[in-house]
Structure 1
Amino acid sequence: MRTVVVTDPPRTPLDQLDALATFGVATVHEAIGRTGLVGTGLRPIQDGARIAGAAVTVLSWPGDNLMIHAAVEQCRPGDVLVVTTVSPSLDGSFGELFATALRHRGVRGLVTTGGVRDVAELRELGFPVWAGAQNAQGTVKATAGSVNIPILVGGVVVHPGDAIVADDDGVLCIPRETVEGAIAASEARTLKEAESRLAYQNGELSLDRNNLRGVLADLGVEYVKASNA
């Protein structure tokens, strides 16, 4: 495996990231055709956080956080650090000291397939994290990996500079080149959801609003009285 630190990848513009951050993961995911979710293996350590940032990617070896140290230098305001390992590892490779350094650089959060520790301190700092585990097991700094190369996170390929959106519902990756379209689609879906919300508040049924009665009929669903069931 080639070990490199790529220093100048193109990034999703900050104004686009800020626009994405106004939408929830579920809304964006539906708007872009239900793609890009990294799966259910990564969970937030906090409640209520919602971020969008440009991916700085890290490929490390199991039980080793050397490349996270290398990645900090490459981070800019608006970034999200995205970390995985060449084979599964849930060791606690990230903690409060890393978060302190990243906050100073304007990083918006961490997404990692591995483990994190110092969880109470991370929450107190208000540094958002989505991780594969909470684990006090420490790591070494002994094996070279790479920074800012394409990595695989939960079946999704994350390229450096891609947009990462994360909240209580999960983590979503949007290819950098498609972010503008994702924002437009998310705005349209948000408007549609607002119209539906108002309709439901006024008593309209989702069966009628979404024209689902015909779907039920086509599938052979019958309405019968309890006395005839």
Structure 2
Amino acid sequence: MRTVIVTDPPRADGEQVAKLAGYGVATVHEALGRTGFLGPQLRPTHLGFRIGGTAVTVLCWQGDNLMIHAAVELCRPGDVLVVTTTSPCSDGMFGELFATALQDRGVRGLVTTGGVRDVAELHAMGFPAWSAAVSAQGTVKATPGSVNVPITAGGQLVRPGDAILADDDGVMVVPRQEVERALDRAQARLDKEEATRAAFRAGELGLDRYGLRARLAELGVTYVTAEEYGL
């Protein structure tokens, strides 16, 4: 494995990414045809945060956080640190000290397929993190990895500079070249949802609005009385 630190990756437009984050992960995910979701295993360590930022990617050896230290230097305001490991690892590779350094640099949060620790401190300082595990298990600083190279997280390819969106529903990636298109589609999705919301408030049923009665009939679902069913 080639171990490198890429110092100057292209980044998605920060203002566009921040605007995209406002739509929320679920809306953007649906708007883009249900693509980019990093999977249900990545959960927030504390609820109530909605962030969007440009990815600084980190590939670490399992149980070793050396490359996170290297990545901190390259982080800019508006970034999100995205960390994965060469093999599955649930060790607490990230904690309050890292968060302090990143927060000072304007980093919006952490996403990791591994573990975090110091959860109470992260919550108190308002630094959001999404991880696959919480663990007090410590790590070493001994093995080289890479920073700002394409990585795989939750089955998705994440390139440095891609848009990372995260909230209580999970984490997704939007390729940096797709951010503008994602904004247009997310707004269209939001407009459609608002129209549906208004219809539901007026008493319309999803069965009728979505044409699902015909679909039920096509699938052979029938309506019967309790007597007919034998209740």
Scaled to the shorter chain, the TM-score interval is over 0.9
Structure 1 residue aligned with 2:214? 214
Structure 2 residue aligned with 1:6? 6
Structure 2 residue aligned with 1:156? 156
Structure 2 residue aligned with 1:173? 173
Structure 2 residue aligned with 1:140? 140
1:81 and 2:81 equivalent?
Answer: yes
1:103 and 2:103 equivalent?
Answer: yes
What secondary structure is seen at the aligned counterpart in 2 of 1:113?
Answer: strand
Runs of 4+ in 1 over 2 A off after TM superposition: none
Task: Give, in angstroms, the shift of residue 19 of structure 1.
Answer: 1.0
C-alpha RMSD of matched pairs (Å): 0.7
Task: Give, in angstroms, the shift of residue 202 of structure 1.
Answer: 1.2
Residue pairs, 1:51-90, within 5 angstroms: 51-90=51-90
Task: Give, in angstroms, the shift of residue 228 of structure 1.
Answer: 1.5
Structure 1 residue aligned with 2:40? 40
* Equivalent-residue separation in structure 1 for 2:48 and 2:198 (angstroms): 24
Q: Which amino acid aligns with 2:157?
A: V
Structure 1 residue aligned with 2:125? 125
- 5+ long unaligned stretches in structure 2: none
* Equivalent-residue separation in structure 1 for 2:218 and 2:79 (angstroms): 48
Q: Which amino acid aligns with 1:3?
A: T
* Equivalent-residue separation in structure 2 for 1:53 and 1:103 (angstroms): 13
In the superposition, the TM-score normalised over structure 1's length comes to 0.98
* Equivalent-residue separation in structure 2 for 1:40 and 1:218 (angstroms): 32
Q: State the identity %.
A: 66
CA shift digits 1:42-83 (9 cap, x unpaired) = 110011111011000000001100000000011001100000
Structure 2 residue aligned with 1:18? 18
What secondary structure is seen at the aligned counterpart in 1 of 2:97?
Answer: helix
Task: Give, in angstroms, the shift of residue 225 of structure 1.
Answer: 1.6
Q: Which amino acid aligns with 2:120?
A: A
Task: Give, in angstroms, the shift of residue 15 of structure 1.
Answer: 1.2
Task: Give, in angstroms, the shift of residue 100 of structure 1.
Answer: 0.6
Task: Give, in angstroms, the shift of residue 224 of structure 1.
Answer: 1.4
* Equivalent-residue separation in structure 2 for 1:183 and 1:56 (angstroms): 21
Q: Which amino acid aligns with 2:191?
A: L
Q: Which amino acid aligns with 2:206?
A: S
Task: Give, in angstroms, the shift of residue 105 of structure 1.
Answer: 0.7
What secondary structure is seen at the aligned counterpart in 2 of 1:227?
Answer: helix
Task: Give, in angstroms, the shift of residue 41 of structure 1.
Answer: 1.3
* Equivalent-residue separation in structure 2 for 1:136 and 1:15 (angstroms): 36
What secondary structure is seen at the aligned counterpart in 1 of 2:136?
Answer: coil
What secondary structure is seen at the aligned counterpart in 2 of 1:59?
Answer: strand
Report how many residues are paired: 229
In the superposition, the TM-score normalised over structure 2's length comes to 0.98
- 5+ long unaligned stretches in structure 1: none
CA shift digits 1:88-131 (9 cap, x unpaired) = 11111100010011011110000001111111000001001001
